[in-house]
Amino acid sequence: MRNSPVKARWWVIFLLFTGTFINAIDRASLSTAAPNIMAELGLDAGMMGLALSAFFWSYIIMNIPADGLADQYGAKRALGWAAGLWSLCSALTGAATQCLHVVLARIGVGVGEAASFPVNARIVTNRFPPEERGTAVGFYTSGLRLGFALTPILMAGLISTWSWRFAFYVTGIASLLWVVLWCFTYQETKTERAAAGAVPKIPWKELLANRTVLGLVLCKFFQDYLFYVFVTWLPAYLILDRGFTLMKMGWYASLPWMAGALAQPLMGWLSDQLIRRGISITVSRKTTIIAMQLLAASVVLAGYTPDAMTAVWLLTLSVACESASTSVLWATCTDVAPPSAAGSLAGLMNTAGGLAGVLAPLVTGFLLKLTGSFQQALLIASCMVVLAACSMWFIVGDLKPIPIRQKRITNDPETSGG
């Protein structure tokens, strides 16, 4: 629970950090290998965009059901099963001989990874007080960016030394080691064990009727559009638009994500410090989110600068600011959701983000096919993150626990509405 020993809470954050780290590797590996897969399987940019978006088809559908799985079986089993599934499906990508095989493997990865953030949000809400959540979320979400930072280097090295198929076998199977670590070292609290199978459902329509929830969902959609342009097309952008070699791309594609991995815990800690100094949760969270989102909109300049290294630094700034915003956005989710709805709200937000994940690689791929340039795609991504800032500013209200009708949080069938 929230008063659990500090050492135990930090071990939980370490497990969530390493889990999101392998999540990132299995999620981003396809974008790094995309040029090689396109060449060997004869895929054009439009088909590759389709394959890159396939992950999000199942990711969208499974986010809310994944929280229900955690309700029924507990966070430990739900996340362990999910991580095992996404690791195996990632490894199977290496056996693909046509576009359909890549699509099917990515759908499987999406099913598994859909459980990650809803379960993580549930754990943080139950174990950490509000003034520690920004730091906790910042640390574990930085694992995602660190994974994105190392994936281009790791995949480029494996592809250059062996092949893109071997690279997927290695990363997918190695991810199963984390499943073992999770299953043997994560200790559920008595409350978590008692709640498994007994947590009542809170309808998503009731959540979306709340103005703050609607604003957070829209904010997640618009911001994640930019995020998934980076995730799916950054390596190809550096190779196709800037003329980088595979190995050079690996190093420079890692720089933005490394900056993001550093920015996330820093900004989460800063927002917590503001709360400790007496500034309201609403002001501390919303101000940092909006400021970072507006700075992330500078990505548009990367498409128009003639110098490749200037473009890299602009991308690095944008990824760092988007990442910093994300850590505080997830902390905001834990601030406004009562414990019984933390996973449901995280699932709604991640579903919106997944929808952006479907659109971003598809739109980017087809714009690249039509224009031969990433300029228009980066312009759209920049506009999207500005809309995210507008959603946070104008739609999200005061950050306080969402009022849920009592009949939704009782186990009494006489009052629970059946």
Domain that holds residue 71: 6-184+199-408
Comparing 165 with 68, the larger pLDDT belongs to 165
Task: Kindly calculate the radius of gyration of the chain based on its CA atoms and give it in whole angstroms.
Answer: 20
147 vs 178: CA distance, rounded Å: 14
Domain annotation covers residue 14: yes
The Cα diameter of the chain in Å comes to: 68
DSSP secondary structure string for all residues of 274-294: HHHTT--HHHHHHHHHHHHHH
Domain annotation covers residue 190: no
Query: In the chain, pLDDT over 70 holds for what percent of residues?
Result: 89
Domain annotation covers residue 270: yes
Least confident of 43-57, 85-99, 340-354, 399-413: 399-413
Domain annotation covers residue 261: yes
> What's residue 385's pLDDT?
97
Comparing 325 with 192, the larger pLDDT belongs to 325
Least confident of 73-82, 264-273, 289-298: 73-82
Band of residue 114 on the pLDDT scale cut at 50, 70, 90: confident
For 34-73, how does the pLDDT look when each residue is reduced to its tens digit (9 = 90+)? 888 888 888 887 788 788 878 878 888 887 777 667 767 7
16 vs 147: CA distance, rounded Å: 13
pLDDT at residue 250 is higher than 90: no
Domain annotation covers residue 192: no
What is the H or E stretch that residue 21 is in?
helix 6-41
- pTM of model > 0.85: no
For 205-237, how does the pLDDT look when each residue is reduced to its tens digit (9 = 90+)? 777 778 888 999 999 999 999 998 988 888 889
Domain annotation covers residue 237: yes
pLDDT at residue 407 is higher than 70: no
124 vs 12: CA distance, rounded Å: 9
Band of residue 91 on the pLDDT scale cut at 50, 70, 90: very high
For residue 334, the domain's CATH number is 1.20.1250.20
Number of structural domains the chain divides into: 1
Q: Report which DSSP code applies to 95.
A: G
